[in-house]
Chains A and B, each alone.
Chain A
């Protein structure tokens, strides 16, 4: 056996070993399932930037994304994703929440502006047009001056309330406002609605206050999350929602898995029937293809979706194709040459078509995957999932089709002699 072949075979064995371990024996590596398989919600919000100055629009959108990300994280959904996208001047925030059961709650939590404003009554007249609630003047104390918020139970009433703590600047503002308005109500406005309007009894120092509206516990907790994450810099509107129940997702996985395995078995039988012992080589290399693919999906991890599975199935076809190309060549070449020479010639010639065909497919996959996040193409979702599995599959199939099948064939021939 040639040394280079031995090295290759050892390399293949090592890769298969590692892949097998990752795929089946290490529970740290898991499939990351997309929303259509795991169940969950995909929410698309559109930012209303009509009232934002153009010069600060980008900054506002960036902070919008950050705030939404914070809210999502505080909401406690693991493996959630937040993307932003811009298409023809429409700014979108896409939120993916796997495994969520009540998307309505999430929508309310994420989509609410949560603009907290403290306001004092207008003593002179009600004609101040600037204030949106009649008879109130907003102070310069807002949600931006908060340090933290926490759900508590009111010591007097026992009802849920939200305790807030101001930062240094906020504390000073709060001190001044309360000092100047003793005996008057101080209204707490959330998105232009009065939540509560307690009377100021004395000047409050130390920067602590309590919002006690008529909250249920859930409402108080939601407000806590919103206040801690900060207000949205621009209002958003929900333009798309897709929710898949977890049971349907599990059903889809089981069925596609079953279909995939039966498909693989049918391909294997076909290949062995048509190509005999060469067919066995291709089945082995197909199995290696499947194992490496599973391992890479788990390591990166690649989020699996239904279109992603389609991409995978297509690459199974392409992986088998590399083998078929070589075997068909071999059938021709063997008429004129010795087996060994014929094999080497076939590898070389088949490689040209395998390379050109796969690069063309890679080009398409690159555009569809849109790795540079071009706004005029698909940013997230099914098309990207499909393209990524397609591109990966091509890469792996080149390896198994060329390196693995080739080495195995060489090994087979040596054993014959």
Chain B
């Protein structure tokens, strides 16, 4: 099947998702939990079984105690109580940047060495960034319309997406590498099409197994884990999509431009 014929279509799909996410990011930003902003979050179960959610800004220790004592004296059960100081959030973000940055560089190196071409490395990392953008963008929208919050669990979901995206892309790359070794043709586009055709069933089936797991987590896993499951689900779907439809078209286009440039120069 000639998958590469529809490169523009894939580009359009990705652009629609990413640009609506980016639009939301710039217009509404992210709705951050106290993990990032600092503040007080509490969940109390009152004596009549009612659940009470409290969210406050940054408070002094005395003010925090006051909140606590007020509910405790009413006999409410403390289910969650979180106090985060103002310095914690920025640190969390920085550490996550470092973690993502270092992992990205190492993955880039590993793929470049393993596939003997920096093109493969960069294409895989590009697909990975695509997935992270899709995920963060969609949560900006969820935050605005559905009150989803970006918390520490979301950071974990982003990191999971990073791992999964690369994992999935490498499987297709591996097929291309194998074909390049065996076949006489140097035409990367042809080989890429074959590789995508041959790995498509595997990709879809594999994603489906993960999606089953996540759907069951979203539907049955309870409130704490619902948004987390959804974030992982978006990451999985995007990660599966981006291997044949972002990484490979990018790789093929790069190769095409490079060839053209070389042939122009030799003329």
In the complex, the answer to whether A262 meets B80 with C-beta atoms within 8 Å is: no
Task: Tell me the minimal C-beta distance from A42 to chain B in angstroms.
Answer: 9
In the complex, the answer to whether B174 meets A310 with C-beta atoms within 8 Å is: no
Q: Which of B79, B106, B236 contacts A367 (CB 8 A)?
A: B106
Assuming the contacts A255-B222, A357-B167, asked whether A377 and B98 have C-beta atoms less than 8 A apart, the reply is yes
Give the one of A317, A321, A368, A386 with max B CB within 10 A: A317
In the complex, the answer to whether B102 meets A367 with C-beta atoms within 8 Å is: yes
Q: Which residues of B contact A316 (CB under 8 A)?
A: 209-210, 213
Q: Which residues of B contact A264 (CB under 8 A)?
A: 213
Q: Which residues of A contact B232 (CB under 8 A)?
A: 310, 313-314
Q: Which of A252, A321, A387 contacts B224 (CB 8 A)?
A: A252
In this assembly, does B156 line the interface, its C-beta being within 8 Å of a C-beta of chain A? yes
Bound Cα distance from A390 to B155, whole angstroms: 15
In the complex, the answer to whether B160 meets A314 with C-beta atoms within 8 Å is: yes
In this assembly, does A53 line the interface, its C-beta being within 8 Å of a C-beta of chain B? no
Bound Cα distance from A356 to B170, whole angstroms: 7
In the complex, the answer to whether A317 meets B224 with C-beta atoms within 8 Å is: no
Assuming the contacts A310-B156, A318-B167, A363-B110, asked whether A238 and B99 have C-beta atoms less than 8 A apart, the reply is no
Q: Which of B21-29, B85-93, B134-142, B244-252 contacts A (4 or more CB under 8 A)?
A: B85-93
In this assembly, does A213 line the interface, its C-beta being within 8 Å of a C-beta of chain B? no
In the complex, the answer to whether A328 meets B202 with C-beta atoms within 8 Å is: yes
Q: Which residues of A (313-340) have their CB < 8 Å from a CB of B?
A: 313-314, 316-318, 320-321, 324-325, 328, 332
Of the four ranges (under 10, 10 to 19, 20 to 34, 35 or more), the interface on chain B belongs to: 35 or more
1/0 contact string of B164-204 vs chain A (CB within 8 Å) = 10111011011100100000000000000000001101100
Assuming the contacts A310-B156, A310-B160, A360-B111, asked whether A320 and B85 have C-beta atoms less than 8 A apart, the reply is no
Q: Which residues of A contact B170 (CB under 8 A)?
A: 353, 356-357, 360
In this assembly, does A126 line the interface, its C-beta being within 8 Å of a C-beta of chain B? no
Of the four ranges (under 10, 10 to 19, 20 to 34, 35 or more), the interface on chain A belongs to: 35 or more
* A267 to chain B: closest residue by CB: B209
Q: Which residues of B (61-88) have their CB < 8 Å from a CB of A?
A: 61, 65, 68, 77-85, 87-88
In the complex, the answer to whether B81 meets A383 with C-beta atoms within 8 Å is: no
In this assembly, does B57 line the interface, its C-beta being within 8 Å of a C-beta of chain A? no
1/0 contact string of A341-368 vs chain B (CB within 8 Å) = 0000000010011001111110111011
Bound Cα distance from A87 to B170, whole angstroms: 34
Q: Which residues of B contact A36 (CB under 8 A)?
A: 224
1/0 contact string of B219-242 vs chain A (CB within 8 Å) = 111101100100010001000000
In this assembly, does B12 line the interface, its C-beta being within 8 Å of a C-beta of chain A? no
Name 9 A/B residue pairs within 8 A (Cβ), A-sorted: A241-B82, A252-B222, A255-B222, A259-B216, A263-B213, A267-B213, A324-B206, A364-B106, A367-B106
Closest 9 interchain pairs by CB? A239-B85, A317-B210, A353-B174, A263-B213, A263-B216, A255-B222, A259-B220, A266-B212, A245-B79
